[in-house]
Amino acid sequence: MPKVRVELFIAYPPTSLCEKLMKMAKGVVEEFGENVELQIYQRGIPYNVEPTRGFQRVRKTVKIPAILVDGDLLAERGVPSEDELRAAISKKLGEKSNYFLKR
């Protein structure tokens, strides 16, 4: 099954809100195992992997902390609920599964 990428854009050094977002996201992403990968980008620090196109589009205007799921902005300047993140990931996994099943 194809992976879904969750991207966090946080301050450097991380604020307490950034820390809260990272902790929540890591916990939810772990629930999905190998199907989801988490990338954390810090403002002003070079990226260790190529960000999604969605992240590249919003990175200069988005308020931090921000979280994107497969390039779609889920939240900025705050922390979404665990259920909101689970739902967004599940939706993306479903879309990818349906795409590959139809091929």
Q: Per-domain residue ranges for the chain?
A: 4-102
Provide the sign of the torsion angle of the four alpha carbons 42, 16, 73, 94, taken in this order.
Answer: positive
Domain range 4-102, CATH architecture: 3-Layer(aba) Sandwich (3.40)
Per-residue pLDDT of 22-76, as tens digits, reads 999 999 999 999 999 999 999 999 999 999 999 999 999 999 999 999 999 999 9
Q: What is the pLDDT of residue 2?
A: 67
Q: What is the DSSP string of 33-53?
A: GGGEEEEEEETTS--SSPPPH
SS3 72: strand
What pLDDT was estimated at residue 24?
A: 99
Q: What is the pLDDT of residue 103?
A: 47
* Contact (Cβ atoms closer than 8 angstroms) between residue 44 and residue 12: yes
> Which of the four pLDDT bands, split at 50, 70 and 90, describes residue 99?
low
pTM: 0.92
